[in-house]
Amino acid sequence: MRNWVVIALILVVVGLIGAFGTSRGDFSFGTEKIDQQQWMEGDGVSEIVVKSGSMDVTVIPSSDQKIKAKLSGRASRKYRDKLKLTLERNGDQLNVTLEDKVGFTIGLNFRSVDLTLELPQQMYRKLVVDTGSGDAELKQVQADRIELDMGSGDVSLQELTAQAMIVDIGSGDMHATAITANESVELKANSGDVTVDGLKSKQLTVRTGSGNIELNDVDAAIKGEAHSGDIDLALDALNRAVDLETGSGDVSIMTSEQPQNAHITYSSGSGDLDNDWDGVKKMTDEDGRDNLVFGSGSIPVHVHTGSGDLDVGAR
C-alpha cells in the first residue's frame, strides 16, 4: 500500500514540475522553434480583443493596412504542437486568441513564447488586451477606449491616444509615456511601481497596493493612492486639482515655478510638512490640518498620509 502512495506522490510532483515548466523561462534544451503568423485586411475592423495566457504581448503599428499577428519563441515538441494562434473576425470585432490544449500533463513542457500584434494606424473604437502573466507593451495605438488587464508582468505604454484608458495589473511595474486621453486614465497595480512621464487628460487616477507612484509632467486633475509606497509629483505648474493619499509613504510636490493659486491641505497620522517656497500663507485649521495658500487658493490640493511627510518645493 505504501508503494502505491509513494508512486502517487511522485506522479503528482512530476506533474507539478511539468505544469511549472509551462510558465515563461529561458529554456532551450529539448525545445523547438515556434513561428506562427496570421494576417487579415484591417478594413472595417473597429474593435480588437486580445486574449493570451502566459507570454509577452506587444501591440505596435503596422506599416500597411493589414492586421498581422506573430507567435514566436521556443517550446517542447509536445507543447509546440498544441499551441495555435487564431485571428477570428465577428462583424467589426477582431478576436486574437491563443489556443493552448496542453492542460495538466506528466513530464516537462517548457515554453517561452511572445505574441506580436501589428495594427494599421487608425482610430479604433476599442482595444482590449487580457493576459495572464507576461510583460505587455502598447505603442502608438489609437482607440476611443483602451483596456489592459494583466495578472502579473511589467507594462510599457508609449504614445497612446484615447478617450478613456483603463490599465489593471496584479503584480508588476507600469511605465506610461506620452499619453493623451481626452476623458480619463485609470492606472492600477496591486503590487508594483507606477511611473508616468507626460500625460494629458481631464482626470488621472493612479492606485497601488504596495509600490511607489511617480508622476511627471501630467496635465490633468490627479487622484493618487498608495497603500504602501511614496507618491512623487513633478510638474511645470500646479494648476489642476490634486488629491493624494498614502498609508505609509512620503509625498512630494515639486513644480518648476512657484504655485500661483493653489491651496494645499495636509493631514497625517505621523508626518511633517516641509515647504521651500516663500511668500505663502501658512495656517492650521480647526481640524488640525496644515494649510498652505498661494495667491487666491482656487486650486484645491489635498494630501493625507498615515505615516509620511509632505515636501513642497522647486523641481
Task: Out of 13-17, 46-50, 114-118, 246-250, pick the least confident.
Answer: 13-17
Using alpha carbons, list the distances in angstroms from residue 100 to 12, 55, 79, 82, 153: 21, 12, 8, 6, 20
For residue 79, the 8-state DSSP code is H
pLDDT of res. 105:
44
Query: Above 90 in pLDDT, residue 127?
Result: yes
Burial of 162 (0-12, 13-18, 19+ CB in 10 A): buried
**% pLDDT > 70, the chain:** 87
Query: Above 60 in pLDDT, residue 110?
Result: no
- Cα gap 135→114, rounded to integer Å: 9
**Phi, psi (rounded to 5 degrees) for 222:** -120, 135
User: Grid coordinates representing 173?
Assistant: 511595474
Domain ranges of the chain: 31-99+110-314
pLDDT of res. 27:
47
State the chain's mean pLDDT as an integer.
90
pLDDT of res. 82:
77
- Rounded to the nearest angstrom, the gap between the alpha carbon of residue 2 and the centroid of all alpha carbons in its chain is 50
- 3-class SS at 131? strand
The CATH fold of domain 31-99+110-314: Pectate Lyase C-like (2.160.20)
- Cα gap 123→183, rounded to integer Å: 16
- The backbone region for 305, taken as left when phi is positive above 0, alpha when psi lies in -120 to 50, beta otherwise, is beta
pLDDT of res. 254:
99
Query: Above 50 in pLDDT, residue 190?
Result: yes
Query: Above 80 in pLDDT, residue 196?
Result: yes
What are the pLDDT digits (tens) for 210-225? 999 999 999 999 999 9
Query: Above 60 in pLDDT, residue 23?
Result: no
Alpha-carbon dihedral sign for residues 226, 50, 36, 158: negative
- Cα gap 26→190, rounded to integer Å: 26
What are the pLDDT digits (tens) for 28-84? 556 889 999 999 999 999 999 999 888 999 999 999 999 999 999 988 877 777 788
- 3-class SS at 241? coil
- The backbone region for 29, taken as left when phi is positive above 0, alpha when psi lies in -120 to 50, beta otherwise, is beta
288 CB contacts (<8 Å, ≥6 apart)? 267
What are the pLDDT digits (tens) for 147-175? 999 999 999 999 999 999 999 999 999 99
pLDDT of res. 20:
40
- Cα gap 259→314, rounded to integer Å: 10
For residue 64, the 8-state DSSP code is S
Q: DSSP H helical segments within the chain, as ranges?
A: 2-20, 77-80
**Amino acid occupying residue 138:** L
CB contact at 8 A, 76 and 30: yes
